[in-house]
Amino acid sequence: MDLVKEIEKLKKDKKAIILAHYYVRPELQDVADYVGDSLGLSQKAAETDAEIIVFVGVNFMAETAKILSPGKKVLLPDLEAGCSLADSIPAADFSEFIRQHPDHIVITYVNTTAEIKSMSDICCTSSNAKQIVESLPKDQKIIFAPDKNLGNYINSVTDRDMVLWDGQCHVHHEFSIEGILALKSKHPGAKVIAHPECQKPILLVADHIGSTSELLTYSHNDACKEFIVVTESGILHKMKQKSPDKSFYPAPSDDPNCVCADCNFMKLNTLEKLYQCLKNESPEISIDPEMGKKALIPIRRMLEISEKLGI
């Protein structure tokens, strides 16, 4: 069976759209209607007129699509595709954290569950976090959650003193500064480009810091021909497609048995699972309607600010 042809046929017959994150397997990116990072995927999910949204990514992304399109059927190829960052912020603990910091606006990264979003004032992504924080008055007290590395970075570039939740993405947190410097010594002409979820020592040696989509754009537009890429290795597929004349080296993690950093959750998605998902219209994402309405408010605020700022 030609899975790609079958997926294309099912997609057409069922009036479905396939959204895929940059971190999933290359063959899934190639069959998707749209490939992007969290912000782009959120925007695409909000505007699609497809009857079925198939989200090839992780659970919180599919939840976001369902929140934005409660009347549509939203599918996820594997319900086990979670997120270490989203798991790092239990709702009960975060509720108490908010209670301990009165008069603070709550900004949460989109990499959170619907329940956490429902407790938030504004959502953000790594693409727009700086702009969203800067859109608030300088003296506004802010809670930023859950990624502490991203929060520290945003504090540094906005001169804010946000209160940070102690969460992290296991992929970005585990990159090895020693390994990156060793890789740089082998490729002295390469530029280091890093995601702001990485730890501070890595960001200090980076030539460019940006969201996944920003790293993709930078690597394509910059004159440099070699890049050490310090984010999940799935993005290298699009980088190579856009810039076949350039070389891209995945940054090593602290694990000596691995030369790259893969998100095991993202890699749970496969062509076979996508085919079965479309064929059976399952697994389907469902969210409590009242929680969905509350979670929609901070997402809408994020999208409105992003649209107003042209990002």
pLDDT value of residue 260: 60
Digit-coded pLDDT (tens) for 268-304: 999 999 999 999 999 999 999 999 999 999 999 998 8
Tell me if 3-81+266-286 shares its fold with 85-169+295-309.
yes
pLDDT value of residue 42: 76
The residue-averaged pLDDT of 247-264 equals 80
* Distant-in-sequence, close-in-space partners of 147: CB < 8 Å, separation ≥ 6: 85, 109, 111, 165, 167, 168, 169, 197
pLDDT value of residue 308: 85
Q: Specify the 3-state DSSP secondary structure of 76.
A: coil
pLDDT value of residue 311: 75
Identify the band that residue 184 occupies on the pLDDT scale cut at 50, 70 and 90. very high
Q: Specify the 3-state DSSP secondary structure of 42.
A: helix
Q: What percent of the chain has pLDDT over 90?
A: 87
Digit-coded pLDDT (tens) for 59-92: 999 999 999 999 999 999 999 999 999 999 999 9
How far apart CA 287 and CA 291 sit, in angstroms, is 7
Domain ranges of the chain: 3-81+266-286, 85-169+295-309, 175-250
Joined tokens for residue 143: 């809670």
CA 11 to chain centre: 24
Q: Specify the 3-state DSSP secondary structure of 125.
A: coil
The residue-averaged pLDDT of 140-169 equals 97
pLDDT value of residue 309: 80
Identify the band that residue 58 occupies on the pLDDT scale cut at 50, 70 and 90. very high
* Distant-in-sequence, close-in-space partners of 244: CB < 8 Å, separation ≥ 6: none
43, pLDDT greater than 90: no
Q: What is the model's pTM?
A: 0.93
CA 261 to chain centre: 15
17, pLDDT greater than 80: yes
* Distant-in-sequence, close-in-space partners of 169: CB < 8 Å, separation ≥ 6: 83, 84, 85, 111, 147, 149, 197
pLDDT value of residue 49: 87
pLDDT value of residue 147: 97
The residue-averaged pLDDT of 200-216 equals 96
How far apart CA 187 and CA 190 sit, in angstroms, is 6
How far apart CA 75 and CA 277 sit, in angstroms, is 7
Q: What angle do the packed helices 271-280 and 3-13 form, to 10 degrees?
A: 30
Identify the band that residue 310 occupies on the pLDDT scale cut at 50, 70 and 90. confident
85-169+295-309 CATH fold: Rossmann fold (3.40.50)
3-81+266-286 CATH fold: Rossmann fold (3.40.50)
24, pLDDT greater than 60: yes
How far apart CA 144 and CA 147 sit, in angstroms, is 8
Which of 41-45, 202-206, 232-236, 261-265 has the lowest average pLDDT? Answer: 41-45
Pick the CATH number of 175-250 from 3.40.50.10800, 1.10.10.10, 3.40.50.10440, 3.40.50.2000: 3.40.50.10800
Strand partners, 32: none
Joined tokens for residue 127: 């693409």
